[in-house]
Chain A
């Protein structure tokens, strides 16, 4: 399973959205209907799944699915 697929699996499960909606440019709040608690849950889920910590200031930069992919890659997750 690729990194993108693993990330999208988590998003589908957490936000109760379809796979089709999970295009890379989809923004969590504007396109996927997430609120601030959803985002926190999502991030905690990512942290658990990928065994890493995401700092609050890094969190602020994450808006879209592509942002998550880029962020995890930059941390050496593949």
Chain B
């Protein structure tokens, strides 16, 4: 399975799942753009890790929630390479709390990055993918999109929105060999889950048949497969990577 000659963009690629995905895509041969918004050092680090493996990683800074900046930055990538083959919508933020205690600004921010951000990026890449008659869009959702989770109403809503986007766009673009899929990770060892208390983690582990948290690499392998030619007949699907937590 190789991605040589392909150009990929991973949003939120500086840390966590996004970093593992970027490294894996670059290792597999794709010229990989690492988008980030705030953490320049982490993005640089992802780039160095890719270079150490002999891959090609480049940095692209923009806030996916900002429509104009997103169109301009992705436009630059397309002009630079004459193409863009793989988009991984991974950029996401979490603001947890019971909805009754949350503020409007919290869900505006969540939906703006997690859901509108993905729409902004899909909008920017669709045309070139239609022209190429080849493309892969992979949206990183979450187990909570389907299972729900107390304290994550807005986050779950934004991730469930991604599933609707995935299925609709899959139908719109199927005739051009563009596959649009969602990957729904369960609990993965990242900064986002490191914030959970020990008790909360123990409770979660009890519910996972595999009795362990997933690793970013567990997710990255699936994303790399979905990005490949071999996955050309898979579209509109939700691939769950959760150790059996939700079936």
Chain B residue contacts of A35, Cβ below 8 A: 175
Q: Is the CB of B176 within 8 A of A37?
A: yes
Chain A residue contacts of B173, Cβ below 8 A: 37
Interface residues on B, range: under 10
Chain B residue contacts of A41, Cβ below 8 A: 127, 130-131
Chain B proximity of A74: nearest CB distance (Å): 26
Which has the most chain B C-beta neighbours within 10 Å: A35, A37, A41, A44? Answer: A37
Cα–Cα, bound, A34→B221 (Å): 37
Chain B proximity of A43: nearest CB distance (Å): 12
Residue of B with least CB distance to A35: B175
Q: Is the CB of B127 within 8 A of A44?
A: yes
Chain A residue contacts of B176, Cβ below 8 A: 37
Chain A proximity of B157: nearest CB distance (Å): 28
8 Å CB contacts to B: which residues of A30-59?
A: 35, 37, 41, 44
Chain A proximity of B132: nearest CB distance (Å): 12
- The interface of chain B, by Cβ under 8 A from chain A, is 127, 130-131, 172-173, 175-176
10 contacts between A and B (CB under 8 A): A35-B175, A37-B130, A37-B172, A37-B173, A37-B175, A37-B176, A41-B127, A41-B130, A41-B131, A44-B127
Chain A to chain B: the 3 pairs with minimum beta-carbon distance, closest first: A37-B130, A41-B130, A35-B175
